[in-house]
Amino acid sequence: MAEKEYVLGNKAKDLYQFTRQATKPGPDDKVEAKDVAKVMRTIAKAKTIEEMRDMLNATADRLDNRRKRPFFPKSETFGMIKDLRSGARAIIKGVYAANETRFNERPEERLREIKAVIDECNLMLQLVELAHDLGYTDMKRMGVWTKRILDVKHMCLAWMKKDGERAKVILAKRERDNCEMLVVLVREILAAEVPRPS
């Protein structure tokens, strides 16, 4: 892997690791009926009103001190969490697939792979923004996540521009070679058809 592609590969891996950590689901924000029943039974066993009041206050404090940072609910495990993680994984695969493509032999294929990574970055940016809008992530985490995605995207755009120019040269040379070969072939055919004097 060339140095820039090596850095890009590492940035893609970092993006995937961050995405896995950022999409770790938390419990859905619901109170289960069995939990309410348990609290009610505990209160019913209290001997005095003060004891009841203390239990109610302790329960309310525990509810108030729940995790403050936004998180993805478990109900999104097979929805947005899966989409974000799959997108980050597709970015890694695309970067390595593009780098492993023999450019001089198949320049169009490499450009397609790089374009696919850029498209995946664009989709991830939209999903991260949606996650923020839904309250699954805070502004700080969204900023860090977005920067990581944009780092990969901008490096891919630069790679695509550089390889796009190189691909034009390679494809133009191929076309010239094909035209020259076709001219030689036509000349050979015409020479073979010319009647020979008897």
pLDDT band at residue 192 under the 50/70/90 scheme: confident
Q: If you ran DSSP here, which 8-state letter would residue 76 be given?
A: G
* pLDDT of 150 strictly over 50: yes
Summarize the confidence of residues 51-69 as an average pLDDT. Answer: 78
pLDDT score, position 2: 60
The β-bridge partners of 26 are 73
Q: Which of 75-89, 111-125, 173-187 has the lowest mean pLDDT?
A: 173-187
Q: CATH classification of 3-24+73-192, choosing from 1.20.1440.60, 1.10.10.10, 1.10.287.990, 3.30.450.20?
A: 1.20.1440.60
Per residue in 114-147, pLDDT tens?
999 999 999 999 999 999 999 999 999 999 999 9
Q: How far is CA 196 from CA 177, 190, 193, in A?
A: 31, 12, 9
For residues 107 and 71, is the Cβ–Cβ distance under 8 A?
A: no
Q: Which of 3-7, 86-90, 108-112, 113-117 has the lowest mean pLDDT?
A: 3-7
SS3 of residue 197 by DSSP: coil
- Could you tell me what percentage of the chain is helix, strand and coil, using 3-state DSSP and rounding each to the nearest 5? 80, 0, 20
pLDDT score, position 1: 45
When the pLDDT of each residue in the chain is averaged and rounded to a whole number, the result is 88
Give this prediction's pTM.
Answer: 0.72
